[in-house]
């Protein structure tokens, strides 16, 4: 009896797993090196799925980088198979396209 119930639950979980949706958060940072190096005087924009604490830790630590969080947004789907990150709400609405 328990085996039959387990099989039913397992079967239903496989059937409904196709309808599950994933989501992830994207962060946009302005990154500048704290180290005085001639090749890296200017800051740059970075778009990543790493949260601010993880991004700083992964890329050299707080002594090496100054990271300012500019914005973040939620995307539907996943980033597997090297898919590009989704665009932010401003890009999708055309705000940045206007001159």
What is the chain's mean pLDDT, rounded?
Answer: 82
Q: Residue 68: pLDDT above 60?
A: yes
The predicted model gives 60-89 an average pLDDT of: 87
Q: Tell me the torsion sign for CA atoms 42, 47, 50, 51.
A: positive
The per-residue pLDDT for range 24-40, each reduced to its tens digit, is 999 999 999 888 777 66
Confidence of residue 17 (pLDDT cuts 50, 70, 90): low
Q: Which has the higher per-residue pLDDT, 11 or 44?
A: 44
Rounded-to-integer distance, Cα 40 and Cα 63, Å: 15
Where residue 82 falls (left for φ over 0; alpha for ψ -120 to 50; beta otherwise) is left
The predicted model gives 46-60 an average pLDDT of: 92
11 has which bridge partners?
Answer: none
What is the reported pLDDT for 6? 83
Task: Kindly report the pTM of this predicted structure.
Answer: 0.69
3-state secondary structure string across 37-70: CCCCCCCEEEEECCCHHHHHHHCCCCCCEEEEEE
Inter-CA distances, 38 with 30, 34, 42, 45, 67, Å: 19, 12, 10, 19, 19
């Amino acid at each position: 009896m328990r085996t039959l119930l387990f099989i039913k639950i397992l079967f239903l979980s496989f059937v409904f797993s196709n309808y599950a949706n994933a989501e992830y958060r994207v962060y946009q940072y302005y990154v500048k090196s704290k180290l005085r190096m001639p090749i890296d005087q200017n800051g740059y924009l970075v778009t990543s799925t790493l949260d601010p604490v993880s991004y700083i830790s992964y890329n050299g630590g707080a002594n090496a980088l100054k990271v300012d969080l500019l914005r973040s947004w939620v995307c539907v789907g996943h980033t597997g198979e090297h898919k590009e990150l989704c665009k932010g709400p401003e890009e999708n609405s055309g705000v940045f396209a206007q001159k």
